[in-house]
Amino acid sequence: MDAYFYIILVVGLLSSIICAAAGILKKAPNDTTILSVAAVELALLVYLVGSVVRVASGEQIAGELWEFWGYLATALLLPIGAVYWAILERTRWSNFVLAAVGVTALVMAARMNQIWY
């Protein structure tokens, strides 16, 4: 596991905890929860840029290339989709949808690390 994974681990877990807590407290999605999901997206973008740089500088991905990029592309779409949903229906339940993003991104980052090494 590399630094990219640990960044997403910390940011993803924090975001999930914040969003789940807001959901339990019966709050609708607000700036805090949406920004925490935006932070997950940012962490994934850092992973994307870092990976592009590493590949461009000649590093080899051990596993399937398209599998790695497929995971990364899907992971990048998750926060956007979840926030879009949260804006469409602003109830406490949308916070649980937002909470699912961090954990899912974390699992996908772990899988991406497995593919890379």
Partner 1 sequence: MEEAENVNAKSSQDGTSNPAGSASGITGAADAGPAAAGSTETGAAETAPPATDTRNTGPGRLLIAVYAVFAISATARAGYQILTKFSEAPLAYLLSAFAAAVYVVATVSLAKPGRTAFKVSVAAVLVELVGVLVVGALSVFDSVNFPHETVWSLFGRGYGFIPLLLPILGLIWLYRRRPAPRHH
Q: Is 79 helix (H, G, I), strand (E, B) or coil?
A: helix
- The reply on whether position 24 binds partner 1 by CB under 8 A is no
Among 14, 42, 55, 93, binds partner 1 (CB under 8 A): 93
- The reply on whether position 59 binds partner 1 by CB under 8 A is no
Among 45, 87, 89, 117, binds partner 1 (CB under 8 A): 89
Among 18, 97, 109, 112, binds partner 1 (CB under 8 A): 97
- The reply on whether position 69 binds partner 1 by CB under 8 A is no
CA distance 36 to 70: 24
Nearer to partner 1, 62 or 88 (CB): 88
Residue 96 identity (one-letter amino acid): F
7-28 burial, b at 16+ Cβ within 10 Å, e below that, comes to bbbebbeebbebbbebbeeebe
Radius of gyration in angstroms for the set of CA atoms belonging to the chain, rounded to a whole number: 15
Residues that bind partner 1 (CB under 8 A): 26, 28, 67, 70, 74, 78, 82, 85, 88-91, 93-94, 96-97, 100, 104
